């Protein structure tokens, strides 16, 4: 097996994705490093540091590598062995990864060798198509199991992105109005979000944003945006993203939308646009579609710092709590805090969001108030407390929050 195949396995083990074409080419043909040297260099990359911070424990690291490579957790004996080896310094993380890769076998515990080969072949197919979209590289790898047929499934997906069902033309798109529901893609929480995109024949894209409380009867217009649009190589380009047509029905159009963010880097996601304005989702519709109700409730106590002294402080007037499952506060639940420090709200969460409801998964938890203890939502003008806690912790614990007065 050559260096190209070995490095593709390293990408799977370390990043849980296919190698991007440019990255694989560099490590194999230009870095001048051995396989062990490449594995060591992987741990110097920002992507690796974001996935495995210095504070990440050995138990989670070992479990992550096994999940990346084999879609399973290690057996108890193997887990204990590797955790001890890493904890005592008998082996470093890059050598551990290489050892697990080299030791892959098909056993009763799992089709490890076959699964890894399928992931490697998928990664190489990805680079053979000259793809560099990091999100797509992750999406394709999520499809792979010990069933060899999943390699073809992932390859078909990649080919669909490279060669869409049909090239868009200026005439096909000009004058079209499309509706994109729940733009954050993570949770309806307390309100649904709708974008109305109008592709003007002049080449201007006018976007109107609407919101609605879940269960209400109508959309409320909030703000407008505009940007240019164009068609290049059969794809729709805006000033923020590129949309590749994947499917087209009388009711919807589905695109693979990709772009680049200065803080997040490359991104991509599948987005369905409606051709007619959809109704506001009701609570019954969400529950029928598999959404879950997440009760958000808890109690706050405040500690103030006065002239360097720490004193207990009553709950500030109009204090508010903001809870989100990620750093995008647009999908957050905002709620008031009662005089006794209690707060409560209801959120509707989809299957992905529901994974954040365990006792260990972090959520964003912020308490907002200004220096006079009057609540504000403007982050530029307010001081606030921020914690990463779980939904279970929110419901079970009293949270002490430091404030400035």
Which domains, from first to last, does the chain contain? Answer: 3-162 (no CATH), 170-274 (2.40.128), 290-404 (2.60.40)
Three-state secondary structure call for residue 50: helix
- What are the distances in angstroms from CA 48 to CA 43, 92, 267? 6, 15, 17
Phi–psi pair at 183, nearest 5 degrees: -65, -25
Q: Which of 11, 84, 3 is nearest to 41 (CA)?
A: 11
Q: Would you give per-residue pLDDT tens digits along the chain (405 residues)?
A: 689 999 999 999 999 999 988 899 999 999 999 999 999 998 888 888 777 765 558 888 898 899 899 988 888 888 999 999 999 999 999 999 999 999 999 988 889 999 999 999 999 999 988 888 787 888 888 889 898 888 988 887 787 776 656 678 888 889 999 999 874 444 555 567 889 999 999 999 999 999 887 767 789 898 898 999 999 888 899 988 888 887 788 999 888 887 776 655 666 677 889 999 998 888 787 777 777 777 778 887 777 666 667 777 777 666 777 776 654 555 667 777 888 888 887 777 765 555 444 434 445 566 655 445 444 444 444 444 555 556 666 666 666 666 554
Asked whether the beta carbons of 14 and 48 are under 8 A apart, the reply is: yes
Asked whether the beta carbons of 181 and 155 are under 8 A apart, the reply is: no
Q: What DSSP assignment string belongs to 136-205?
A: HHHHHHHT--S-THHHHHHHHHHHHHHS-SS---HHHHTT-EEEEESTTSSEEETEEEEEEEEE-TTSEE
- What are the distances in angstroms from CA 324 to CA 296, 306, 331? 11, 30, 6
The residue count for the chain: 405
274/249 Cα distance (integer angstroms):
10
Neighbours of 197 (CB within 10 A): 18
Q: Which of 320, 295, 298 is nearest to 385 (CA)?
A: 320
* Alpha-carbon 369 to chain mean position: 29
Q: What DSSP assignment string belongs to 363-376?
A: EEEEEEE-TTS---
Q: Which of 273, 85, 260, 296 is nearest to 187 (CA)?
A: 296
- What are the distances in angstroms from CA 140 to CA 48, 81, 128, 169? 19, 31, 14, 28
71/80 Cα distance (integer angstroms):
19
């Amino acid at each position: 097996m050559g260096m190209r195949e070995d490095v593709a396995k390293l990408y799977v083990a370390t990043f849980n994705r296919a190698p991007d074409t440019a990255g694989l080419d560099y490590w194999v043909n230009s870095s001048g490093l051995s396989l062990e040297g490449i594995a060591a260099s992987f741990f110097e990359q920002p992507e690796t540091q974001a996935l495995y911070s210095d504070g990440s424990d050995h138990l989670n690291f070992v479990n992550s590598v096994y999940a990346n490579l084999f879609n399973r957790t290690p057996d108890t004996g193997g887990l204990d062995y590797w955790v001890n080896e890493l904890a005592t310094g008998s082996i470093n993380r890059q050598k551990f990864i290489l050892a697990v890769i080299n030791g892959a076998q098909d056993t009763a515990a799992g089709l490890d060798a076959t699964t890894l080969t399928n992931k490697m072949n998928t990664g190489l197919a990805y680079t053979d198509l000259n793809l560099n979209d990091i999100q797509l590289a992750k999406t394709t790898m999520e499809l792979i199991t010990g069933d060899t047929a999943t390699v073809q499934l992932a390859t078909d997906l990649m080919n669909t992105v490279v060669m869409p069902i049909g090239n868009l033309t200026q005439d096909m798109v000009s004058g079209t109005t499309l509706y994109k529901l729940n733009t954050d893609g993570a949770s309806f929480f307390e309100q649904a979000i709708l974008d109305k995109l109008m592709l003007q024949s002049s080449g201007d894209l006018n976007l109107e944003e609407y919101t609605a409380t879940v269960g209400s009867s109508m959309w409320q217009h909030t703000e407008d945006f505009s940007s240019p649009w164009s068609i290049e190589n059969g794809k729709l380009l805006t000033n923020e993203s590129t949309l590749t047509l994947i499917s087209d029905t009388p009711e919807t159009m589905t695109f693979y939308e990709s772009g680049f963010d200065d803080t997040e880097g490359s991104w991509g996601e599948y987005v369905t646009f409606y051709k007619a304005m959809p109704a506001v989702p009701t609570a019954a519709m969400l529950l029928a579609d598999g959404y879950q109700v997440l009760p958000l409730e808890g109690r706050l106590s405040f500690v103030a710092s006065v002239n360097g002294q720490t004193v207990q402080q009553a709950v500030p007037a109009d204090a508010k709590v903001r809870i989100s499952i990620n750093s995008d506060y647009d999908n957050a639940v905002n709620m008031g805090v009662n005089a006794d420090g209690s707060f409560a709200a209801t959120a509707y969460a989809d299957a992905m969001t529901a994974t954040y409801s365990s006792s260990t998964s972090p959520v964003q938890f912020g308490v907002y108030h200004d220096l006079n203890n009057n609540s504000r939502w403007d982050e530029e003008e307010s001081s606030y407390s921020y914690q990463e806690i779980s939904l279970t912790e929110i419901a079970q614990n009293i949270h002490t929050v430091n404030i400035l007065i």
